[in-house]
A and B are shown apart, each in its own frame.
Chain A
């Protein structure tokens, strides 16, 4: 691939890197795994970039590759820690929110998402990003009806975790 294409890709990835960070934070529970997954997603994106035709938005395409990598390609390391210690001592992973209570809510949300299984995580992430059911179904390769059923179940599960 040409240097020009590489430069273009790196620029786009740099601009949209928050998408990958969100996926990494949902699927891993410590900074080291976060970085490993970030790297794997970036490699997969770059490998697939030549075939990216721009039929969809770069961010949508990026979401698909990032989720696919997290669900199917990434090998979790043995150092994964148990739920409950999620990112607690990791000052380098900070998300800026407008006040403390919002920051807390975001933290609570990530912790709740982490307890879901890999497919449920993908569903919730796409829901939170406001993606239509048609896109969610296309991304996962399931029917729209099935996507709705799974989404309702997952939302209820998430609600229970957030408001026990």
Chain B
């Protein structure tokens, strides 16, 4: 390692002479806005919570029709869950976000960033699962209504099976596309961080 020892000396003797920043410049600099990945994660996560919560609030529901279909209690239950779940996740997200500290060691820092991000990921998974369940359960009840039974009868003996197949396919296709776009964005944002974490954990 003799060669590297020589480089060590060169390294330690170096003096950065140009572009030295004076105290005025440094003072201005420290009051600028951080553009760190943690800030991005925070903004994106808040946006995700806001969008999903707004969809919940503004989703138009025809209560009378749902009552007729026998889905009233089911929809009430789902609505309560979709209000409680975000609150629970927002609390977890905030708790994890606060635990991110740049003065931790590198491993702990990366872990806390990934944990914060994962909270939002699990939130999306939970909400999407609730939606998938609600769509499928809602459909299974709705399909019993006489007007739907007539439509199904038009498809012949396998009518029930065909209609179910179409509904399940579209439900999963719809959720699959949302998930794919989401994971792609998520992957791009955290690619470097995950690679560094893997490298740190390797032997």
Contacts and interface: CB of A to CB of B under 8 A. Distances in A.
B14 A119 contact: no
Contacts of A74: 36-37
A79 B25 CA distance: 24
A70 to B, nearest CB: 10
A71 interface: yes
B109 A105 contact: no
Given A73-B38, A128-B7, A142 B107 contact: yes
Interface-central residue, A46, A72, A96, A117, by most chain B CB under 10 Å: A72
Give the size category of B's interface with A.
Answer: 35 or more
A119 B37 CA distance: 17
**Chain B binding site: helix, strand, loop or mixed by DSSP?**
helix
A43 B109 CA distance: 17
B37 A72 contact: yes
Interface string A66-96: 0111011111100000000000000011111
Give the size category of A's interface with B.
Answer: 35 or more
B193 to A, nearest CB: 6
Contacts of A9: 30
B108 to A, nearest CB: 5
A39 B101 contact: no
Contact of A130 (B8, B15, B200): B8
A68 B86 CA distance: 31
B94 interface: no
Nearest to B111: A141
Interface of A: 6, 9-11, 13-14, 17-18, 21-22, 36, 38-40, 42-48, 51-52, 61, 64-65, 67-69, 71-76, 92-98, 102, 105-106, 109, 117-120, 122, 127-130, 138-142, 146, 149, 155, 158-159, 162-163
21 contacts: A6-B27, A22-B16, A36-B35, A43-B30, A65-B102, A68-B104, A69-B36, A72-B37, A72-B113, A72-B196, A92-B18, A97-B14, A109-B7, A109-B10, A117-B195, A118-B196, A139-B105, A141-B107, A141-B109, A158-B4, A163-B3
